Structures are given as structure tokens and as C-alpha cells.
């Protein structure tokens, strides 16, 4: 019987030959790889001396994700994105629904939108999803495995070292890049993953090979045991969605296998459900939709001592003033830090944090404002007052600093 192209584990792309292999992993899973293979080895490995002439030929590789209307060949290019093995079919998915409620909690509908976008619009940029918990048995790794069960070879689960390694060909073409037990404490780690989350192309590099620029649609999912120190996130950052995942109230026997059986019904649901959110930003979701206490804790965990002192001072003033906002110039904060905490800082130190790190801007021209101040009496109560001052002041709102 004549072999189909799909039965021949070789490709010729341009003038180079490749072999398609499935590499065993320690997890007992396999990873599909396309590795360089010489025409001499192909001839040597097959009795048919003309076998190499049957190898399908393409001009180039391409990476075009599509989970619904998949195509392997685009013009004369070989698509390295893989077809999904599951066929959507109407059915129930009670275990998946229960599990996703556990992962996304009060943001369940947003979580469904996140997964719907991955399924329907895989080229859409999405925020970096971070699942954190210091506890064990929370389902963080199960969530990665669940997505891997859906997306197959289009997803990879990496370590910190895999992500930092300059040879990125193992994940550069993947739709989902999961990093388990992540710890990216260096500033350059944060900057790299931020840039990758919004870039449209990447230079893929394999050991001993030249870099190849290709389209990049990767979405990052980070799972961490540390809840505040696994990565550095600045207050103005909008690219991270951090969720603290609780422990399971009770163990669910054979959860992963039960969810695998429900995947066709779940994909059918994703294909037809009405979206809860609308595409209003580059990463689809708004800052308000993704804000969580877990994100705030990560931001605070990465703050310097001075930054925490300034923030605590502003919070104290907001509560003491009983108003929705307070106004300060850097000189005011310097005076208050010295008076309240005996901390000496410069105006440059203050503006570096308020302007550069927090993203606040003063009024354009010097203007009058009422500076709030208070002091404690000997009896333990405090007295408050306002005084008129002039300057390019900053406004700090209670909604931005104080928990609701």
C-alpha cells in the first residue's frame, strides 16, 4: 500500500531534512520534536533506495494556531502547530466545572472567558496567569495538566531553568507555556516574561543551530508555592492576573481521568457560550477585572522598605482624614516620615517611587491644596487639622490604597 505523507516521519523544508519524533519525558508523557536528519541517514535506514523522494517537501515552517479550523499546510509551508486530538461533542462536564470553580472562585466567569479565548482565538494576547499558594494539594499543577490534556503538544510545562535557558526552541512555538514551582526573583526575569507576554515574534534558538525568528503566540501560566516573592510586580503593572488557590475541602478521587473524559463536552461548551467580558484592552481584560488581593500582596511583597513606609503613611493619613483622598507634595512626605517614623529621605527618593514606580503625576502648575496633618495626644487620641499650602501636589485616593 502506498504510504500517505502523514505516515512518513520525515520532512524536507527548504534544502534541509528533518525527522518527526516523540521524545519520552520523565513524566511518562512525550514531547513531539522536529529534529535535523540527513538524507544519508534516511537512505541508510530504508531498503527502498528511492524512499527519500517520497519525503514531503515544503518551503518553510510556520506557526499558525487554530483549534477549530485547523490546517497543516499553508501554501507551501508546514504548520508546526498541532491539531487537537479531542473532537468537541455535546455533553456534561461536572468534574471540570467543579474544578474550575475551585481554581477561579469568584472570578469563575472571567476564568471561563480566559479559556474560551484560548480555544476560539488562540492568537489573542492574554495576561500572565499566576496561581499561588503556600499550601499543598490545591490543584495548581492539576490545572496545568488539565490544559496539557486539552492542547497536547501545543503546551509545555517547564521549570525555572527551562525558562531562563538561552535555548528556547522547546517552548518558543507553544501556545501555553506553564512554569511549575516558579521562582523568578530577579528583575530581569520579570522584564523578560512581561516582554514575551505581548511580543508578536521571537527568536527561537536550539543548541548548535542559528536563531530563527518566528511568530509567537505563547501565553504564560505560572504556578508558585510562594505567595508574595515568586516574581517582582510593580503597582502600575497590568499584565499579571494573580489568584491564590485554596486547598481542596476534600479529595476528589481520580479527578484528572474524569476530567479527560469530559473534555469533548467542555470544548463544545466553550465553542458556543456567550462571553462574560468584552475585548477592551490589548490583553482583553481590564485592570479592574483582574485585580485580586493576591496581586496586591505580590506587589507589596516586592516593595522596598522606603516604599512600604510611604505607603503606610499615606494609608494612615487617608483613614485619619476620613476623606476619599489626600494631597501631598514630596516635601510634605519627607517632613511626615521624619516626624512619624524618624526616617530621613531626599525629594528624589520620594519622586522615584511616586512617579517612576507608582506612575503618579503631579498637577501641571503649582496650586493651592489643603495638607492634612494630625498628631496623637497624651491620652492616646489624635487631633487633626488642615493647612493651606502651594505646590505641584499629588492626589492619593483611598480606593487605590485601602482595602475595601
Which helix H or strand E contains 13, and what residues bound it? Answer: strand 10-13
Q: Is the dihedral of CA 74, 14, 176, 32 positive or negative?
A: positive
Sequence-distant (≥ 6) Cβ neighbours of residue 137 within 8 angstroms: 247, 248, 251
The Cβ-side half-sphere exposure at 370, using a 13 Å CA radius, reads 10
| pLDDT per residue as tens digits for the range 63-106 | 999 999 999 999 999 999 999 999 999 999 999 999 999 999 99
Return d(Cα 43, Cα 209) in angstroms, integer: 24
Query: What's the whole-number average pLDDT of the chain?
Result: 86
- What percent of the chain is predicted at pLDDT more than 90? 39
Return d(Cα 323, Cα 7) in angstroms, integer: 72
- Assign 209 a pLDDT band (cuts: 50, 70, 90): low
For residue 231, give Cα distances in angstroms to 185, 202, 235.
5, 22, 13
Domains and their CATH numbers in the chain: 5-79 (no CATH), 94-300 (3.40.50.300), 303-401 (no CATH)
Pairing between β-strand 10-13 and β-strand 16-24 as defined by DSSP bridges: antiparallel
Q: What is the DSSP letter of 231?
A: B
* The residue to which cell 480566559 is assigned: 114
Return d(Cα 24, Cα 361) in angstroms, integer: 54
pTM of the model: 0.74
pLDDT number for residue 128: 94
Amino acid at each position: 500500500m502506498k504510504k500517505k505523507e502523514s505516515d512518513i516521519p520525515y520532512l524536507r523544508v527548504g534544502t534541509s531534512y528533518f525527522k518527526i519524533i516523540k521524545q519520552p519525558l520523565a513524566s511518562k508523557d512525550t514531547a513531539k520534536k522536529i529534529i535535523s536528519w540527513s538524507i544519508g541517514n534516511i537512505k541508510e535506514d530504508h531498503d527502498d533506495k528511492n524512499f527519500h523522494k517520497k519525503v514531503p517537501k515544503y518551503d518553510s515552517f510556520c506557526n499558525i494556531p487554530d483549534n477549530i479550523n485547523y490546517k497543516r499546510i499553508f501554501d507551501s509551508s508546514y504548520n508546526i502547530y498541532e491539531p487537537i486530538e479531542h473532537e468537541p461533542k455535546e455533553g456534561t462536564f461536572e468534574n471540570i466545572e467543579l474544578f474550575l470553580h475551585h481554581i477561579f472562585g469568584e472570578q469563575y466567569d472571567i476564568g471561563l472567558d480566559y479559556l474560551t479565548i484560548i480555544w476560539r482565538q488562540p492568537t489573542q494576547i492574554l495576561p500572565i496567569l499566576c496561581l499561588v499558594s503556600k499550601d499543598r494539594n490545591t490543584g495548581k499543577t492539576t490545572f496545568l495538566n488539565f490544559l496539557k490534556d486539552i492542547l497536547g503538544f501545543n503546551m509545555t510545562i517547564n521549570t525555572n531553568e527551562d525558562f531562563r535557558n538561552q535555548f528556547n526552541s522547546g517552548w518558543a512555538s507553544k501556545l501555553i507555556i506553564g512554569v511549575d514551582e516558579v521562582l523568578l526573583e530577579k528583575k530581569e526575569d520579570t522584564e523578560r516574561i512581561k516582554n514575551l507576554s505581548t511580543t508578536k515574534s521571537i527568536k527561537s534558538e536550539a543548541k548548535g543551530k542559528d536563531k530563527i525568528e518566528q511568530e509567537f503566540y505563547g501565553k504564560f501560566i505560572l504556578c508558585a508555592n510562594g505567595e508574595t516573592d515568586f516574581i517582582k510586580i510593580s503597582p502600575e503593572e497590568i499584565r499579571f492576573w494573580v489568584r491564590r488557590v485554596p486547598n481542596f475541602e476534600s479529595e476528589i478521587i481520580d479527578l484528572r481521568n474524569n476530567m479527560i473524559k469530559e473534555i469533548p463536552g467542555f470544548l463544545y461548551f466553550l465553542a458556543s457560550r456567550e462571553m462574560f467580558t468584552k475585548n477592551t484592552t490589548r490583553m482583553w481584560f481590564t485592570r479592574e477585572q483582574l485585580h485580586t488581593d493576591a496581586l496586591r500582596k505580590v506587589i507589596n511583597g516586592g516593595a522596598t522598605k522606603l516604599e512600604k513606609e510611604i505607603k503606610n503613611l499615606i494609608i494612615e493619613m487617608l483613614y485619619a482624614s476620613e476623606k476619599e483622598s489626600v494631597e501631598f507634595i514630596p516635601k510634605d512626605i519627607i517632613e511626615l516620615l521624619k516626624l512619624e517614623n524618624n526616617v530621613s529621605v531626599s525629594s528624589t527618593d520620594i519622586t522615584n517611587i511616586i512617579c517612576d514606580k507608582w506612575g503618579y503625576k503631579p498637577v501641571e502648575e503649582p496650586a493651592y491644596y489643603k495638607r492634612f496633618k494630625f498628631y496623637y495626644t497624651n491620652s492616646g487620641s489624635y487631633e487633626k487639622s488642615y493647612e493651606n499650602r502651594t505646590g505641584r501636589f499629588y492626589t492619593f485616593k483611598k480606593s487605590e490604597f485601602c482595602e475595601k
